[in-house]
Amino acid sequence: MVSGLHGAYEVKESRSWFKVRAIALGLTSAISILVILALATVLAGGHVANLVASHFGWGQMVVVTWRVAQVVVSLAFITVSFSLIYYFGADLGEQHWYWITPGSIIGVLLWVAATFGFRSYLHFFNSYSRTYGSLGAAMILLMWLYITGFAFLIGGEINAQIEHAAAKSGHPEAKAPGEKKAA
């Protein structure tokens, strides 16, 4: 993903091997926590909402409101995950959150749409088990990871193009292709 972001911004890696690995380890830890929180929100959120609503005597409206809110909260966790990789992954010298927010949002929405599209495809045309036998589940997982990476890289490319267009129009904090710091 980091090398894909370098390609989008047209920059070369200049950080030390240890610094790149430390950043990768930190990003992996942070994103793992955010994804676990998103999963916990979706998987246990309804149960917690039912318990709280019954304990305080709140009606079913609170439970329905939470079911809608848990989707928004989970998408927010995933968007922050994408943003962290966009912010810390590429070797850009300086980065601003407002340059990476559009790509993060579009990348997550594209990822959700592609995931549901792939799920629909598998529902109607799933022949992986017949074709690959017991490796069918592994093939499905690898295909989904490929789709996830593709959505992520499209979001990164959107961020890069927005920043490059802003640099061409003269924005003082934007970087042109190949630049690591704004001029």
133 φ/ψ sector (left φ>0, alpha ψ -120 to 50, else beta) = left
Side chain identity at 134, as an amino acid letter?
S
Share the mean pLDDT of the chain.
Answer: 88
pLDDT in tens, 38-47: 999 888 877 8
In contact, 97 and 159? CB cutoff 8 Å: no
User: Tell me, what's the pLDDT at 130?
Assistant: 79
pLDDT band at 116 (very low <50, low <70, confident <90, very high): very high
d(CA 20, CA 6): 13
123-174 pLDDT, tens digit each? 888 777 778 888 888 888 999 999 999 999 999 999 999 988 988 998 888 8
Q: What is the pTM of this model?
A: 0.84
Q: Supply the pLDDT for residue 183.
A: 56
User: What integer pLDDT is reported at residue 182 of this predicted model?
Assistant: 63
Residues 153 and 141: their CA atoms lie apart, in Å, by 18
* CA 110 to chain centroid: 10
